[in-house]
Structure 1
């Protein structure tokens, strides 16, 4: 029998934590203006799990830049830990996991907004959003 992988993480102050079980649906980078502005970085790195694979503990606040996605953060330290969307998925920031090097992105979205100095070899690249089929 195969053992289910369990990965944990949370915010900077430890008030908001999560446990992700099993394997993710996908891992990617996003260069869109919303991700850039929210993170204060030139891109966001994330992993997508089905919502029922993730357990959240602690208090969080959410706000929405678009009707389909709620960005969630710790109300104590302000860490942006995850996003929830209307398709029953949860997008967890790679930096929120307790361990580094758990996931490797396989694609990038909004590549037309990528900083010219940033190289992302071996990634499937979408000029804007990836389609639901990909």
Structure 2
């Protein structure tokens, strides 16, 4: 699989090789504020499978360094220096991420009541490492 994406102004571009390690949704306060939406939709790839170009700015968060375009402000990815993974904001892909289905949801205690749980996705009240996995919703 080869995917590409970038920021709104085109200054920052990226290409991804291979399948994502995992795909998820997060409803935490930081993701809401960072995305400007009710949740964040992201995919995790090995850093080795990502090629980045263009100048980036960084904002440190609990998840690591959130990278964004200094020109247009588009939030693109996040990674920690001590990790070999990169978290891609899937809304920044050139084509709609329709084939990338979330396998889990984080911080479901903050999910909006009008937003249904994703069928077949693991449901975590907080972070994956903080609580047990609840069975997926019936597909």
Q: Same fold (TM over 0.5)?
A: yes
Give the structure 2 partner of residue 77 of structure 1: 72
Q: Give secondary structure in 2 for the equivalent of 1:83.
A: strand
Structure 2 gaps of 5+ residues are: 134-139
Following superposition, the deviation at residue 63 of structure 1 comes to: 1.1
- Measure, in 2, the Cα distance between the counterparts of 1:105 and 1:121: 7
Q: Give secondary structure in 2 for the equivalent of 1:36.
A: helix
Following superposition, the deviation at residue 65 of structure 1 comes to: 1.8
Following superposition, the deviation at residue 79 of structure 1 comes to: 0.2
1:130 aligns with 2:125: no
Alignment of 1:102-113 (within 5 A): 102-113=99-110
Kindly indicate whether the alpha-carbon contact (under 8 Å) linking 2:102 and 2:118 is maintained by their aligned counterparts in 1. no
1:48-100 CA deviation, whole Å, 9 max, x = no partner?
0011110110011011122x510000000000011012322101011100111
Quote the RMSD (CA, aligned, Å). Answer: 1.4
Following superposition, the deviation at residue 46 of structure 1 comes to: 0.3
Give the structure 1 partner of residue 37 of structure 2: 41
Q: Give secondary structure in 2 for the equivalent of 1:62.
A: strand
Following superposition, the deviation at residue 102 of structure 1 comes to: 3.6
TM value normalised by structure 1: 0.90
Runs of 4+ deviating beyond 2 Å: none
- Measure, in 2, the Cα distance between the counterparts of 1:77 and 1:57: 15
Q: 1:12 aligns with which of 8, 13, 27?
A: 8
- Measure, in 2, the Cα distance between the counterparts of 1:121 and 1:103: 13
TM value normalised by structure 2: 0.87
Give the structure 2 partner of residue 119 of structure 1: 116
- Measure, in 2, the Cα distance between the counterparts of 1:81 and 1:53: 16
